[in-house]
Amino acid sequence: MDNATKRQLKKQDQFVALTGAGVHWAEEHRQKAILYGIIAVVAIVAIVGSYSLYQSRSAAAATEFGTAMQTYQTPLANAAQPVPPGIKTFPNAKARAAAANAQFQQVADHYSLTQSGRLAEYFVGLTYEDQGQTGPAQQALEKVASSWDNGLSSLGKDALADLYQQIGQNAKAIDIYNELSKGKSTTVPPNLAKLQLAELYQSQGNTDQARQILALLKDKDKDANGKPGAAAEIATQKLNPAPAAGPAPGAAQ
């Protein structure tokens, strides 16, 4: 066999070897590609299914939350008051709060991962407070105050501050108002927290501290055109209350 023939056969052997290796590589990676494709499809289906389930639960939570809010806003009427047929009423705010509390609690328990479920926890605290149950109210509101949702957390803290005042823990309320006054929440704007802090100081007899806060609001709460904002107007009224109306001219003494 001459050298040219040997070289030709050698090339053919190399081609066959390379082709075989290429086919083996393609087959192996084809199987992996199919496997990865199946995994990707399963993941997509899971994501879509989870999203659909979340949407469904969110809709159910919103419906039940709306029902609880309707209960919470039901009018009050005593037994002596005539009520139109078909109109539901409660004899007092405590009874209404108790009924709404049970409904809000159900939404909070069953749909805790939804926005309506988290908001329901806030109203659980408020309705406990309406019933005079300060312990459960504090527990519920502290849970809301620790939420990752800044807007909801601010609502919880603001309600907690009010509750602390009711039970004589003004120092805790002051701490919360100071915290909120330095934040950027839209549900409890900083200026609202400052007004509430001023009112608390005023109720304690700390008029100098209250007036200091109000004076700063009056001077600094302005828009881009220098027009006083709502907080500045309220602060101005509190700093300069209108004199009590006296007897009309000519009235009998």
Q: What is the pLDDT of residues 219-239, one digit of tens each?
A: 988 888 889 889 989 999 988
CA dihedral sign of residues 183, 189, 191, 193: negative
Q: At what angle do helices 207-220 and 190-204 cross, to 10 degrees?
A: 160
pTM of the model: 0.73
pLDDT at 47 (0 to 100): 47
pLDDT at 82 (0 to 100): 78
pLDDT at 18 (0 to 100): 47
Euclidean distance between CA atoms 212 and 184, whole angstroms:
21
Domain ranges of the chain: 13-76+88-126
Q: What is the pLDDT of residues 198-222, one digit of tens each?
A: 999 999 999 999 999 999 998 988 8
Euclidean distance between CA atoms 111 and 149, whole angstroms:
16
Low-confidence ranges of the chain (pLDDT < 50): 3-11, 15-16, 18, 25, 37, 47-48, 253
Which amino acid makes up residue 125?
G
CB contact at 8 A, 124 and 140:
yes
Euclidean distance between CA atoms 218 and 243, whole angstroms:
20
Question: Quick one: 240 exposed, middle or buried, by C-beta within 10 A (0-12, 13-18, 19+)?
Answer: exposed
